[in-house]
């Protein structure tokens, strides 16, 4: 499926109208619910398939960020055959006490995978933690770049942003 059609399908699934209060406290009459496209197995599979050619050569592990990156990385792993790590916002305080569950990241080329990038803040935090664990992280891959400063924030920590779609591609 071509990207323009994929963008239209994502928009149709995830764009809501009504009255919504955003995290900032601002009220709006439209909202983009990213979990709507992630919860549709057919659409998520099409998204993952379209992302495969964007995975940089040499990638050894796909690292999905909690929470929205987890379904995306799982679907992408099915299409690439690459192992996945599931990255928590903070290491759990019990059991394995790990930040990254699943595939080992130390000493491996890791691609951070996220659903939607706005400011890039969580990617920056998670990348720093993954690098502290010994991961070689050079890029992040997202489904949608909202083009609201995320790419610039990642550049500051020497991390490239690869996006399947931009905000302008939706609808």
Contacts of 154 (CB under 8 A, 6+ apart): 120, 123, 124, 127, 140, 160, 161
Residue ranges of the binding site: 23, 88-89, 92, 114-122, 146
Residue ranges of the binding site for orotate: 118, 146
Residue 137's nearest CA partner among 120, 119, 161 is: 161
For residue 35 the two structure tokens come to 């979990």
Residue ranges of the binding site for 5-phospho-alpha-D-ribose 1-diphosphate: 23, 88-89, 92, 114-122
For residue 1 the two structure tokens come to 């499926």
Whether 138 maps to a domain, the answer reads yes
pLDDT digit string (tens) for 5-15?
999 999 999 99
pLDDT digit string (tens) for 86-121?
999 988 888 888 999 999 999 999 999 999 998 899
| C-alpha–C-alpha distance, residues 27 and 75, integer Å | 33
Number of domains in the chain: 1
| Residue 140: band (very low, low, confident or very high) from pLDDT cuts 50, 70, 90 | very high
Whether 135 maps to a domain, the answer reads yes
Whether 33 maps to a domain, the answer reads no
Residue 72 lies in domain: 40-169
Q: What is the CATH number of the domain that holds 96?
A: 3.40.50.2020
Whether 63 maps to a domain, the answer reads yes
Whether 3 maps to a domain, the answer reads no
pLDDT digit string (tens) for 47-94?
999 999 999 999 999 999 999 999 999 999 999 999 999 999 988 888
Whether 14 maps to a domain, the answer reads no
Is 80 exceeded by the pLDDT of residue 23? no
Whether 9 maps to a domain, the answer reads no
Whether 126 maps to a domain, the answer reads yes
């Amino acid at each position: 499926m071509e990207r323009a059609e994929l963008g239209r399908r994502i928009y149709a699934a995830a764009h809501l109208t009504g009255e919504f209060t955003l995290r900032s406290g601002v009220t709006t009459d439209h909202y983009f619910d990213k979990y709507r496209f992630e919860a549709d197995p057919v659409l998520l599979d099409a998204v993952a398939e379209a992302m495969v050619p964007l995975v940089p050569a040499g990638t050894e592990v796909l690292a999905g960020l909690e929470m929205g990156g987890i379904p995306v990385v799982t679907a992408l792993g099915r299409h690439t055959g690459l192992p996945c790590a599931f990255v928590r916002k903070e290491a759990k305080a019990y059991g394995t006490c790990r930040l990254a569950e699943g595939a080992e990241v130390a000493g491996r080329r890791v691609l951070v995978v996220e659903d939607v990038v706005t400011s890039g803040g969580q990617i920056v935090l998670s990348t720093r933690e993954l690098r502290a664990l010994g991961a070689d992280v050079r890029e992040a891959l997202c489904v949608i770049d909202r083009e609201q400063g995320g790419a610039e924030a990642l550049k500051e920590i020497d991390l490239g942003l690869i996006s399947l779609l931009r905000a302008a591609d939706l609808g």
